[in-house]
Amino acid sequence: MEIKNVFVVGAGLMGSGISQVAAQSGYNVWMCDISQDALDKAMSNIRWSLGKFADKGKLKEAVDVVIKRIQPVLNYDEASKADIVIEAVFEKLDLKQKVFREIDSIAPPHAIFASNTSAISITELAASVKRQDLFIGLHFFSPVQMMAAVEVIRAVTTSEEAFLLGRDFVKSLGKEPIMVNRDIPGFLLNRINLPSTIEAIKLVEAGVASVEDIDKGVKLAFGRKMGIFETGDMVGLDVTYSALMALYEETKDPRWYPPELLRRKVRVGHLGKKTGMGWYKYNEDGKPVGPAL
C-alpha cells in the first residue's frame, strides 16, 4: 500500500510537528483539533519553523508550498481520505480510545492507525478498534522537526505488513525507525530515559544539586543537547507525569511512581514553557530567565 494522505489528530507540540515533517516530505496532511485557536497557533508555529529551515538552506521548497499541503480541520470528516491516521492527543487512555473509535468508522479500511503515545499500551489502544491488525505505535520525540528517532511499536495484534509500513513511513519522513518488537510499558527509549529523569528530580528534592547544575552536567558530560529539566519543560511536566503514571499503573512497580516534587508542580500548574513556569521560569517570549526552585 502507498501512503499519500496523512490525518493527524491533535495540533499541539507533537501533532503540529508531525504534520510539518509529513508536509515537508510531500504528503497531503489534515491536522485536526477541537480548538480553532489551537489550529491557528499550530499553523503559525509551523510557518515560523519552516522559515527557520529555509533561512538555513534546509528546506527544499518554498515555505508556502509546504504550508499548502496542511489543511487544519475541526472534525474527522477528512479522515475518510486517510492512508494513515496518527493520534497525538493528551496522554489519557480513555481520550485516545475515544478518538480511535470515532475515526474507525470514517477512515477507509486500508488505513493504518498509529498512536504517538510515549507510554500507553499500543495493544490496549488497538483493542478499541476493529482494524487491530493495522494498529501500530509511532512514538516521535520532541521537537519532532529536529529529532531523528521514531519508535515503531508492534502491538500483539499488529500484522507484519503494518509493522513494516510503519517503518517505511518513518524512513520517508527522513527519520530513523527504532523497531520495538514487543509492546511493553514505556516501549524502549523511555525505559532508558525516564529512570534518569526520576533520579534527577529526586536529587533536586534531596538538595544534592540544583536544576541548573544537573542540566549543565548532563550536557557537558553526556553530550546531550538539552538537559533533563530543560527537556522536561519543553515536553511538559504533565506529559512526564502522565507517562510515569501509565507505567506505574500497568506494572505496579513503585520505581515508576512520579516523585513528590513532580506531583506537586503538576498540581499547582507549573507545567513548563507552556505555562511560563516549570523547572525554569520563562518570560513572555518563552525564554528562560532562571530556575523556578
The domain limits of the chain are 5-180, 191-291
Annotated catalytic residue, options 139, 230, 242, 270 = 139
| Cα dihedral across residues 55, 13, 203, 244: positive or negative | negative
Q: What is the CA radius of gyration of the chain?
A: 19
Establish whether 151 is a catalytic residue: yes
What's the pLDDT score for residue 285?
Answer: 85
CA 252 to chain centre: 24
Annotated catalytic residue, options 25, 118, 121, 128 = 118
- Are 181 and 188 in contact by the 8 Å Cβ rule? The answer is no
What's the pLDDT score for residue 253?
Answer: 96
d(CA 232, CA 277): 11
* Cell numbers 510515569: residue: 244
Please report, in tens digits, the pLDDT of each residue of the chain (293 residues total). Answer: 899 999 999 999 999 999 999 999 999 999 999 999 999 999 999 999 999 999 999 999 999 999 999 999 999 999 999 999 999 999 899 999 999 999 999 999 999 999 999 999 999 999 999 999 999 999 999 999 999 999 999 999 999 999 999 999 999 999 999 999 999 999 999 999 999 999 999 999 999 999 999 999 999 999 999 999 999 999 999 999 999 999 999 999 999 999 999 999 999 999 999 999 999 999 988 899 999 98
CATH of domain 191-291: 1.10.1040.10
What's the pLDDT score for residue 1?
Answer: 83
Establish whether 190 is a catalytic residue: yes
In terms of Cβ atoms closer than 10 Å to its own Cβ (0-12, 13-18, 19+), residue 285 is exposed
Annotated catalytic residue, options 19, 49, 116, 190 = 190
CATH architecture of the domain formed by 5-180: 3-Layer(aba) Sandwich (3.40)
Annotated catalytic residue, options 78, 87, 91, 151 = 151
What's the pLDDT score for residue 60?
Answer: 92
Q: Give me the long-range contacts of 257-263 (CB less than 8 A, separation at least 24).
A: 258/198, 259/198, 259/201, 259/202, 259/205, 260/205, 261/201, 261/204, 261/205, 262/201, 262/237
* Cell numbers 516549570: residue: 278
117's CB contacts (< 8 A; 6+ apart) are: 87, 91, 96, 125, 137, 139, 246
